[in-house]
Structure 1
Amino acid sequence: MNLAVVYPGTFDPITNGHTDLVRRGSRVFSRIIVGVASDTGKQTTFSLEERVRLAREALSDVPGVTVTGFSGLLVNFVRTHDASLILRGLRAVSDFEHEFQLSSMNRKLDPDIESIFLTPDEAYGFISSSLVKEIARLGGDVSDFVSPSVQKALITRFK
């Protein structure tokens, strides 16, 4: 199908769970726009530019994927990229309530934009950016959870 989908997130940093969703999504969608959010209300470890760069490096081998930073409402970003779908990941039942609320609000803001959900491969279901940063901050090995360039950036950041 010739469909474009936006996969939004903070990606602070992008993990193997995120890249797994993009890789599997690329089998369904001709174009995936990874939207790295700047207005998250979160204190991020990496700047927007760093998060975009790391995501681009981690996804450089996936055809049809572009990575770009954005600010403002997600529905506006989706429209700007001529997409009508938002891709989100569900790791556990605990993610569902929050994601359901977000998708309902986005639908209220723009009824022409739909949200779709993928679950990660079982090998990645427990990975979160927060846990990865905590492990790296405490000197642990994160090589199973992130790409080599992200691992290097985490080591540098937490030295």
Structure 2
Amino acid sequence: MKIALFPGSFDPVTKAHVDIVKRSIGLFDKIYIGIGVNSSKSGFLSVETREKMLRAVFENEPKIHIVAYEGLTVNFCKSIGADYMIRGIRTVSDFEYEKAIAQMNHSLVPEIESIFIVSKPGYSSISSTIVREIMRYNGDVAQFIPKEALAYL
């Protein structure tokens, strides 16, 4: 069984995240969307809210499982039996950052492969960071967020 983890903060989930997941579904038997929790940081949205948003967005996808986790992502991969880690790439700088992380992860746990999926051009400018900034100043983020998630903002 091919099991993958798509890790991130998803604070909030964006249409770009959804696109990466939907394009990954045919590649794997099971995909965990892992909400990484950093106990030293407080998120914009609570972990519970992010979980609810993701469940609402993917409620009709039986291959998708939503879970929060703490600690090293590669250790979490091992705990759920994932041999693959999915990462979205929007820009060249994303690639450089993700490549370095993938190489470190490979050094730690060589059997976990990082799979990079390049975002569609229309989604390359969407990031949770930018969406949060728009939300802070009461801007309309509806064009960047899946409609199922809007109720949780």
CA distance in 2, matches of 1:40, 1:131: 22
The unaligned stretches of length 5 or more in structure 2 are none
- Name the residue aligned to 1:157: none
Residue in structure 1 matched with residue 44 of structure 2 by the alignment = 45
The count of aligned residue pairs is 153
Q: Which segment drifts farther, 55-64 or 76-85?
A: 55-64
Please state how far the C-alpha of 1:13 moved relative to its aligned partner: 0.7
Who is 2:149 aligned against? 150
Which 4+ stretches in 1 moved above 2 angstroms? 40-43, 148-154
Which residue matches 1:121?
Answer: 120
Gaps of 5+ in 1: 155-159
Distance 2:31 2:122 in 1: 22
Percent same amino acid among aligned pairs?
A: 37
Give the C-alpha shift of residue 53 in structure 1.
1.4
Residue 33 of structure 1 and its aligned partner are, at CA, apart by 0.5
Contact 1:33 1:65 in 2 (8 A): yes
Whole-angstrom distance in 1 between the partners of 2:82 and 2:126: 28
The CA RMSD over aligned residues, in Å, is 1.5
Asked whether the 8 Å contact 2:4–2:85 carries over to 1, the reply is: yes
For the pair 1:105 / 2:104, whether they are aligned, the reply is yes
**More displaced stretch, 58-67 vs 79-88:** 58-67
Change (3 A) 1:116 1:40: farther
TM-score (norm 1): 0.89
Aligned to 2:16: 17
CA distance in 2, matches of 1:84, 1:55: 22
Report what 1:27 is aligned to: 26
